[in-house]
Amino acid sequence: MIEAGTPAPDFALPDQDGNEVTLESLRGKRVVLVFYPSDFSPVCTDQLNVYQEVIGDFKARGAELYGVSVDSNWCHRAFRAHLGIEIPLLADFHPKGEVAKAYGVWAEGYGVAKRAL
């Protein structure tokens, strides 16, 4: 994982609706990137449900959450609808895991992002 105080690596990823979200578009905001392995897995489902339960606490502190995994934006759209969550989900799909690698949270042996904030 990148060290505290290190500038965040640049990225441009589509969200669940296909809209591009960039680091530049988030400048000036408090943002928490939630890296997780994959949509619809039992633990990731629980993880994102917990974040949804406490999203008000993040908002009260002026922070926005964004989920990031290697699933496609179409998969993210279905996952979000299935869970009924409002957290935007970003697709680190192609090139696969490029952003997770830049942030030092890539699990090479599994081909997914590790769990990280």
The residues annotated with a catalytic role in the active site are 44
92 belongs to a structural domain: yes
In three-state secondary structure terms, 36 is: coil
Alpha helices in the chain (DSSP H): 23-26, 42-53, 55-60, 73-83, 98-102
What is the average per-residue pLDDT within 10-33?
A: 96
63 belongs to a structural domain: yes
87 belongs to a structural domain: yes
- What CATH code is carried by the domain that includes residue 22? 3.40.30.10
Provide the sign of the torsion angle of the four alpha carbons 87, 25, 31, 1, taken in this order.
Answer: positive
pLDDT digit string, tens, across residues 46-105: 999 999 999 999 999 999 999 999 999 999 999 999 999 999 999 999 999 999 999 999
Specify the number of domains making up the chain. 1
Half-sphere exposure of 86 (CA within 13 A, CB side): 8
